[in-house]
């Protein structure tokens, strides 16, 4: 038996993933323990939990692999900042300090904080980690592999062929030309936080028309060979640590949206922002499809495995399926930097240790790969905190919760192990009735405390999705991880149908999540539709809850009506016996 630990961190979304004989047994982002959203620190708490969950110590771990190579990344920072001196002086001072005091010495930090022997610490290339996370977690013996993000060491986009011999690098695009960084620059231009608000741009895009495509293509410029480059006069991410776009972008498109300001697509200014968001989204999709065409021509394969932060763009994923050349698309649920930890571990298992793939058992057993709490522990906690609660028989939890939903209550739902990746997939979710037209605004305003234009996802029982959603062939796996946007073909679910008539779909299989599937089934029995509104159990600006304590704290600070903690049911009114 062999254990391999993969780690990512020091930029955003740090995580730890533990493999046992090539299969994932534990995976968690550091933010779930630290409660710092997109935590960028060394994933010490996540690592300690992974080891504790497996019942092992660091002495049992064969290799600990970091998801990228610090020296090459430092080289890129130095070359870029020196090339752009003196305007890069501030970023150079700040970056050099961070590198020389922390980031360059990640191996020493791993050895010190985790108690690892130095000889057991390995380093994978950033995009190689992304590629491994996609290909080796997939069920396919051969596949084309595409990784697209902001930037790793130097690469921003990488093309691979995956097969029995491993991952073969076919080509790459280097910094500062970057689809991900351009999308982030427009994220900042539209008033959202970089590395956090990109999905808000996707949501805003649904309210607009892509009438600024020609202008955006002046920034992200397509080439005849299917690649792209960036006009650096419009962006500043290559020399500034504080600003990702220049005044010239505002001269091209008009004034940027002030962060935190309101968004009303019925006004001229709001419509302009929505149209810019739609244009950025369209140009991004076009660039990805063009690269996919090149990769398909190079490999001759019909399956594409996609990774990197851009792979979380569920609208672009649909474009790759419907407009691109591949018949199937696979994306593992933590496609961003957190997933680099899993890729680093899988790269080590297969390409360093030389272990062959076995496709009969899935590498990812399901969405719940994090920490869980048993009913006895939850019950003792509720009693100690003097929280009034009802204890349900396990086989009645789904029935009772479904009745609450149909009666119009909004539920907090904490069941089993928390999810791997940024999506709530029925383990740490807020649930409600999607048939109620007022439910979207109610949850955004009174429960999540976030922008009213933000959409929610529908969860649906596997096998029933075709009744309500247009799922393209080859996108079935994406829908399991909530990584696909699909047109809605019914008027029954106004609370989860976005402004453009689509929804970010979540298809639930009984084998992957039996309790959540049972809840959906019971909702279907009561209403005729096995569909619920599903969104992450957190408040704006906070990570998704992981523990019962965090769930209770969030529950009592929100407008949720009922909380289900395992087999325990807590009502908001009169729930404290003080």
Name the CA dihedral angle for 279, 285, 290, 293, rounded to a multiple of 10 degrees.
-160
Residue 123 in 3-state DSSP? strand
> Which has the closest alpha carbon to 137: 375, 335, 413, 320?
335
> Which has the closest alpha carbon to 153: 205, 226, 213, 78?
78
Tell me how far apart the alpha carbons of residues 369 and 576 are, in angstroms, rounded to a whole number. 32
Tell me how far apart the alpha carbons of residues 247 and 235 are, in angstroms, rounded to a whole number. 9
List Cβ neighbours of 224 (8 Å cut-off, separation of 6 or more): none
Catalytic residue annotation? 12
Element (H, E) at 145: strand 143-148
Task: Report whether 441 contacts 481 (CB < 8 A).
Answer: no
Task: Output the six-digit token pair for 221.
Answer: 């410029």
Tell me how far apart the alpha carbons of residues 187 and 210 are, in angstroms, rounded to a whole number. 16
Task: Report whether 178 contacts 150 (CB < 8 A).
Answer: yes
- DSSP conformational letter for 398: H
Residue 60: what are its φ and ψ, rounded to 5°? -85, -10
Residue 503 in 3-state DSSP? strand
Task: Report whether 435 contacts 513 (CB < 8 A).
Answer: no
Residue 418: what are its φ and ψ, rounded to 5°? -70, 160
Element (H, E) at 305: strand 303-307
């Amino acid at each position: 038996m062999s254990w391999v630990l993969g780690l990512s961190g020091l930029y955003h979304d740090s995580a730890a993933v533990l493999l046992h004989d090539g299969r994932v047994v534990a995976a968690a982002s550091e933010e779930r323990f630290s409660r710092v959203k997109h935590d960028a620190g060394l994933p010490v708490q996540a690592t300690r939990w992974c080891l504790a969950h497996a019942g092992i110590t660091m002495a049992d771990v064969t290799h600990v692999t970091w998801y990228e190579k610090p020296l090459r990344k430092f080289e890129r920072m130095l070359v870029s900042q020196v090339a752009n001196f003196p305007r890069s002086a501030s970023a150079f001072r700040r970056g050099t300090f961070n590198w020389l005091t922390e980031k360059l010495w990640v191996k020493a930090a791993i050895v010190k904080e985790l108690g690892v022997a130095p000889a057991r610490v390995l380093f994978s290339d950033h995009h190689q980690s992304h590629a491994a996370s996609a290909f080796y977690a997939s069920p396919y013996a051969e596949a084309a592999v595409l990784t697209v993000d902001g930037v790793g060491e130097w690469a921003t986009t990488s093309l691979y062929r995956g097969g029995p011999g491993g991952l073969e690098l076919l080509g790459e695009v280097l910094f500062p030309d970057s689809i991900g960084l351009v999308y982030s620059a427009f994220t900042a231009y539209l008033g959202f936080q970089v590395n956090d608000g990109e999905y808000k741009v996707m949501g805003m895009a649904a309210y607009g028309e892509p009438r600024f495509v020609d202008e955006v293509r002046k920034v992200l410029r397509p080439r005849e060979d299917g690649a792209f480059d960036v006009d650096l006069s419009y962006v500043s991410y290559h020399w500034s640590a504080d600003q990702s776009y220049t005044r010239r972008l505002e001269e091209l498109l008009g004034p940027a949206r002030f962060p935190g300001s309101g968004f009303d697509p019925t006004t001229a200014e709001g419509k302009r922002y929505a149209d810019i968001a739609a244009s950025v989204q369209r140009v991004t999709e076009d660039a990805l499809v063009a690269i996919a065409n090149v990769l398909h021509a190079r490999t001759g394969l019909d399956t594409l495995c996609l990774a990197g932060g851009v792979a979380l763009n569920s609208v672009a994923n649909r474009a790759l399926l419907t407009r691109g050349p591949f018949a199937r698309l696979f994306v593992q649920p933590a496609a961003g930097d957190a997933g680099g930890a899993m890729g680093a571990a899988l790269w080590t298992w297969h390409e360093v240790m030389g272990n062959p793939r076995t496709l009969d058992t899935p590498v990812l057993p399901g969405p719940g790969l994090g920490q869980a709490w048993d009913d006895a522990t939850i019950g003792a906690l509720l009693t100690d905190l003097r929280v009034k609660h009802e204890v349900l028989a396990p086989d009645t939890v789904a029935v009772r919760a479904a009745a609450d939903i149909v009666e119009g209550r909004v539920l907090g739902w904490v069941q089993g192990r928390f999810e791997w990746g940024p999506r709530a997939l029925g383990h740490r979710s807020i649930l409600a009735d999607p048939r109620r037209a007022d439910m979207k605004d109610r949850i955004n305003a009174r429960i999540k405390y976030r922008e009213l234009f933000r959409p929610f996802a529908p969860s649906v029982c596997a096998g029933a999705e075709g009744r309500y959603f247009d799922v393209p062939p080859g996108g079935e796996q994406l829908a399991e991880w909530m990584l696909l946007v699909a047109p809605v073909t019914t008027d029954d679910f106004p609370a989860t149908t976005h402004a453009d008539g689509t929804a970010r779909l979540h298809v639930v299989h009984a084998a992957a999540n039996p309790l959540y599937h049972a809840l959906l089934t019971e909702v279907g029995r009561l209403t005729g539709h096995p569909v619920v509104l599903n969104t992450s159990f957190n408040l704006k600006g906070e990570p998704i809850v992981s523990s019962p304590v965090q769930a209770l704290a969030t529950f009592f600070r929100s407008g949720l009506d009922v909380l289900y903690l395992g087999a325990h049911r807590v009502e908001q009114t009169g729930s404290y016996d003080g």
